Amino acid sequence: MRFLFLVLISICFLATGCTYFNSINGISSASDQLDTSGYTEKDFFSAIQDDLKGGFWQTAIEKLRSLEAQYPFGDYAEQAQLELIYAHLKAGEYDSAISVAERFMRLHPQHENVDYAYYIKGVSSFVKNDGMFGKLLPIDETKRDPGSARNSFSAFSELLNRFPESPYAPDAQKRMIYLRNILARHEIHAANYFFTRGAYLAAANRGRYVVENFQRTPAVPDGLAVMAQAYYLMDMHDLSGEAAKLLAQNYSNHTSLNSDGSFKYQEQSASIERSWTNSLSAGLFDKPESIGFDTRYIFNDRYKELEGEELEETWMDIATFGIFR
């Protein structure tokens, strides 16, 4: 862990150091020192391409905006807007990329490359919450705010509906599968939380929502388990039995099932009765055992290498409220 922090600090110093020395030398890109006052639109656009190829995103963004202002109806105006979307994405300015993409879609709905704007909008929403730490630390994305995931899924869905033959459609479809898995697992996390609060009806509704709306995702088995357990605690034994029967028929290796296929019902969540240590620490320490379902290491290919291992809570999980793992 100490090594990880040293790596993070080193990266921060390197990033700020490079920016600092570049600013001292007055150099920010390959074409930053060029005098573009006498440039034609074509020359201007060519200089911008050099910035993009060199990865000088901020300089490219400034020049693209200047090009659009000077030649709003020029031959390269529409292409410059598409390049601006890309430059914002590569610069990590995801909200700006989304804004420019939406503007392009609104102004040029019949453009031959408008599908690219839909695609970049979805990608920007897909990665906007990662940040530097999201790329370096093992973050459980299913426990984070699902807003960006929903927006990204919506953008990709619109791309596939409007442009099913787009060259970006295959990648968008793969990302949508990944996003559906995240959104479905987020619902299970919410159901597990409701168990700890004794809100069994809310937990049952979350489980049913997963089963009804996220079919063919790895969260469906846990959705059925949530329903079986929650309905049991509400003395709705018919509904509980139906959910348990479906679970046994379709996912016989679920950890909530006995060897004979019967469901391992648990009694009222013990976490409702909290110790004084747990209360004083706002739930961070001395957590009592509670009802919860998470079988990703059985039904999700991304987690199958953890099969048979306990997903034990570490001090990092406690300190970061379970976001990092």
Q: What is the number of helices (H) and of strands (E) in the chain?
A: 15, 0
The single-letter code of the amino acid at 25 is N
Q: What average pLDDT does range 171-191 have in this prediction?
A: 96
Per DSSP (E only), the strands in the chain are none
- Confidence grade of residue 309 (pLDDT, cut at 50, 70, 90): very low
Looking up tokens 């995240």, which residue turns up? 182
What does the alpha-carbon distance between residue 246 and residue 254 come to, in Å, rounded to a whole number?
A: 12
CB 214 within 8 A of CB 207: no
SS3 at position 203: helix
pLDDT tens per residue, range 31-59? 555 556 677 888 888 889 999 999 999 99
Q: Which of 17-26, 30-39, 118-127, 308-317 has the highest mean pLDDT?
A: 118-127
2 pLDDT tier (thresholds 50, 70, 90): very low
Q: Is 105's pLDDT higher than 90?
A: yes
Residue whose C-alpha is closest to residue 182's, from 225, 139, 135 = 139
Can you tell me the distance from the alpha carbon of 36 to that of 65, in angstroms, rounded to the nearest whole number? 14
Tell me what the pLDDT averaged over the chain comes to. Answer: 82
136-155 as b/e, with b when 16 or more CB fall inside 10 Å?
Answer: eeebbbbbbebebbebbbeb
Residue 145: predicted pLDDT: 85
User: Bridge-partner residues for 324, per DSSP?
Assistant: 139
pLDDT value at 186 more than 70: yes
In sequence order, the 6+-apart residues with CB closer than 8 A to the CB of 78 are 104, 108, 111
Q: Average pLDDT in the 141-163 region?
A: 92
pLDDT per residue as tens digits for the range 75-104: 889 999 999 999 999 999 999 999 999 999
C-alpha–C-alpha distance, residues 160 and 154, integer Å = 10
Instruction: Output 22 or 42, whichever has higher pLDDT.
Output: 42
- DSSP structural state of residue 46: H
CA separation for the pair 184, 322 (Å, rounded) = 18
CA 95 to chain centre: 15
Residue 268: its pLDDT value, please? 72
Judged against a pLDDT cut of 90, whether residue 123 lies above it is answered with yes
Domains within the chain, CATH numbers bracketed: 40-167 (1.25.40.10), 197-319 (no CATH)
- Distance, CA of 325 to chain centre: 15
Residue 183 CA, chain-centre distance (Å), reads 9
Q: What is the pLDDT of residues 231-249, one digit of tens each?
A: 999 999 999 999 999 999 9
Confidence bin at 171 (pLDDT 50/70/90): very high
The answer, yes or no, to whether residue 293 has pLDDT greater than 90, is yes
Q: Compute the Cα dihedral for 21, 25, 27, 30 and give only its sign.
A: negative
% of the chain with per-residue pLDDT over 70: 72
Q: How far apart are CA 9 and CA 91, in angstroms?
A: 21
Angle between the N-to-C axes of helices 220-233 and 169-197, in degrees from 0 to 180, rounded to the nearest 10: 20
DSSP category for residue 139: B
Task: Name the residue with tokens 């807003």.
Answer: 147
Q: Token pair for residue 175?
A: 């990302």
**What whole-number distance in Å separates Cα of residue 197 and Cα of residue 26?**
58
Distance CA 143, CA 164 (A): 31
Residue 295 has pLDDT above 70, yes or no: yes
Strand partners, 257: 263
pLDDT of residue 215: 94
Tokens 């961070």, residue located = 284
Q: Name the percent of the chain lying above pLDDT 90.
A: 57
Contact 207, 195 (CB under 8 A): no
Cβ-contact 307, 298 below 8 angstroms: yes
Query: What is the Cα gyration radius of the chain?
Result: 26
State mean pLDDT over 150-156: 95
Quote the CA–CA distance of 263 and 241 in Å, as a whole number: 9
